[in-house]
Amino acid sequence: MNRPRRWIEGALAVTAATALGVTALATTAQAADVNVARNAGFESDLSNWTCSAGTGSVVGSPVHGGAKALKGTPTAQDTAQCSQAVAVRPNSTYTLSSWVQGSYVYLGASGTGTTDVSTWTPGSSGWQQLSTTFTTGANTTSVTVYTHGWYGQGAYYADDVSVLGPDGGGGGGDPVVVPAVPAGLSAGATTTSSADLSWNPVTGATGYNVYRDGSKVASVSGASATVTGLTAGTSYSFQVSATNSAGESAKSAAVTATTKASGGGGGGTVPRHAVTGYWQNFDNGATVQKLRDVPSQYDIIAVSFADATATPGQISFTLDPAVGYASAADFKADIAAKQAAGKSVILSVGGEKGSISVNSDASATAFADSAYALMQSYGFDGVDIDLENGLNSTYMSKALHQLAAKAGPKLVLTMAPQTIDMQSTSGEYFKTALNVKDILTVVNTQFYNSGSMLGCDGKVYAQGSVDFLTALACIQLEGGLDPSQVGLGVPASTRGAGSGYVDPSVVGNALDCLTRGTGCGSFKPGKTYPGLRGAMTWSTNWDATAGNSWSNAVGPKVHNLP
């Protein structure tokens, strides 16, 4: 794929190190920590709070604690932001949290003197806790904390805001005490390698520790967790404790969860048949678009691309100003909106000129840690591996399994190898795909820019034909990948690649040939693969340049496969 590498001073950049700091919970107990927010539960109505344009009010239901909560009602021109200036101590760390529900709720802090932070949720019908941390600058004595919704969306609710840290002298709350033991722990859905847990929220808790068979395995901010890295067909005992800056409660009563028996495949909430499109985070002459402009025919949107840092294996992401977003928050809101519409938005790693080196245990860990940090910061559903300058199957496989252990079973993992990379199961790319088959969503091979290639029957097929697509996809289908993990990658227009463009009707014929046994050329597979995942294109921008003719034709074809 084509990727110009842009480094523009002033671009909106989030590195892995920054993103890691956004979601970390304070772990060092500080006996003097207090909640420096005033009227944190809105029991005194909007006292100490300022809401934009009259968009905030206080309601008696729903509430998380006490008798009142905040209701924000966004308009087409206003996000219903409510804020408060809190007194803080310089050079100190604070944990900001709030219980929220409703549509698109944001929580953040500005004027910290260091890095301003924010976090958000697309929304829910029940209370959930948002949490982030910030550190004050050497001369910072006041920080503005805020919550808001999003333009034209439904109302949101917030309650029990907490800004835990050293007393800044502003008349905040009482000293923090160790929270109570969590109650109501229950086990939910399981997979072959994970188990969902949930419990009742604990007042005053800023986080929870999850224990498996007596050993701590996770720390989370909300009252639920997905424990990963489990063995198929195995029973486990789980407990949780509640934490805050004063300490940790005792462990809860234990519950038992049994994982499902072996049977493979990752992919989160991606539909059975899916269309993948790469979205360009740069301007190379194709239509410049925001994520909100990507047509609904695309089920997986791969944001292109992440960048390498000076640390081997570590990646970062820079939002290019050429795309036109006013802020990173606007970009994140578009991601959340796509997800609310049932789409997956992932971060693509590599491209034609991108080189990420994962060739050691340290670089594998650096990749997993930084990729997960960017997922947490931006809300990405997963990653796409589009490394066109080589990869090490041993260490990339380790990196992706480490990432899956962090992200859980809903991780969306895709790959976009070049045609030559999937000619043989002995190739590093093919070996990587097979190594991570248990967590892999789909491999969308780039069936272009390659010239003639061998098919699974040993014959040579010319690029740009239905035989080329079907006979080469057959190599993967018969080489160990599940049909649900195979997709056909093609350019969206003649300008999208140097060679290999095929009319959307040819893509449709190839899909029919592989799934139904109809529409084939001279090559016809020995059996059909009705579970074939679908198709991919480079790119949504080139598709838009051509009037979205590719997605308008291929999208319905994919979504109507058997």
The CATH number given to whatever domain includes residue 203 is: 2.60.40.10
Residues 6+ apart with CB under 8 A from 61: none
Chosen domain end from 234, 258, 282 = 258
Spatial distance between the Cα atoms of 553 and 544, rounded to a whole number of angstroms = 13
Residues 192 and 248 in one domain: yes
Spatial distance between the Cα atoms of 384 and 406, rounded to a whole number of angstroms = 16
- Domain of residue 127, CATH code: 2.60.120.260
The pLDDT value given to residue 176: 65
Spatial distance between the Cα atoms of 439 and 264, rounded to a whole number of angstroms = 8
pTM (whole model) above 0.85: no
Spatial distance between the Cα atoms of 425 and 418, rounded to a whole number of angstroms = 14
Residues 94 and 202 in one domain: no
Residues 483 and 515 in one domain: yes
Within a domain: residue 129?
yes
Spatial distance between the Cα atoms of 270 and 441, rounded to a whole number of angstroms = 8
Within a domain: residue 27?
no
Mean pLDDT lowest for which of 172-181, 214-223, 234-243? Answer: 172-181
Mean pLDDT within 384-404: 89
Residues 460 and 551 in one domain: yes
Peptide bond into 252 cis (omega under 30): no
Q: Is the dihedral of CA 216, 222, 228, 233 positive or negative?
A: positive
Name the pLDDT band for 330 (thresholds 50, 70, 90). very high
The pLDDT value given to residue 303: 97
Mean pLDDT within 222-236: 81
Spatial distance between the Cα atoms of 293 and 473, rounded to a whole number of angstroms = 31
Within a domain: residue 490?
yes
Name the pLDDT band for 145 (thresholds 50, 70, 90). very high
Within a domain: residue 267?
no
Residues 308 and 415 in one domain: yes
Q: Quick: pLDDT tens for 99-121.
A: 999 988 999 999 999 999 999 88
Within a domain: residue 175?
no
Within a domain: residue 265?
no
The reply to whether 388 belongs to the active site is yes
The pLDDT value given to residue 24: 33
Residues 297 and 222 in one domain: no
For the residues of 235-298, what is the DSSP string, one character each?
A: EEEEEEEEEETTEE------EEEEPPPS-----TT--SSEEEEEEESS-SSSPP--GGGS-TT-
User: Which one from 9, 43, 388, 478 is the annotated catalytic residue?
Assistant: 388
Contact call for residues 144 and 85 (beta carbons, < 8 A): yes
Contact call for residues 21 and 94 (beta carbons, < 8 A): no
Angle at 380 between CA 374 and CA 384, to 5 degrees: 90
Residues 120 and 197 in one domain: no
Within a domain: residue 80?
yes
Name the pLDDT band for 7 (thresholds 50, 70, 90). very low
Range of the domain at 490: 274-559
Mean pLDDT lowest for which of 262-271, 405-414, 478-487? Answer: 262-271
Contact call for residues 448 and 463 (beta carbons, < 8 A): yes
Residues 6+ apart with CB under 8 A from 513: 466, 470, 519, 520, 521, 524, 525
Contact call for residues 33 and 96 (beta carbons, < 8 A): no
- Number of domains within the chain: 3
Residues 161 and 222 in one domain: no
The pLDDT value given to residue 278: 97
* Tokens linked to 532: 């074939």
Chosen domain end from 132, 165, 198 = 165
Spatial distance between the Cα atoms of 519 and 512, rounded to a whole number of angstroms = 6
Mean pLDDT lowest for which of 91-95, 390-394, 532-536, 553-557? Answer: 390-394
Angle at 264 between CA 260 and CA 267, to 5 degrees: 105
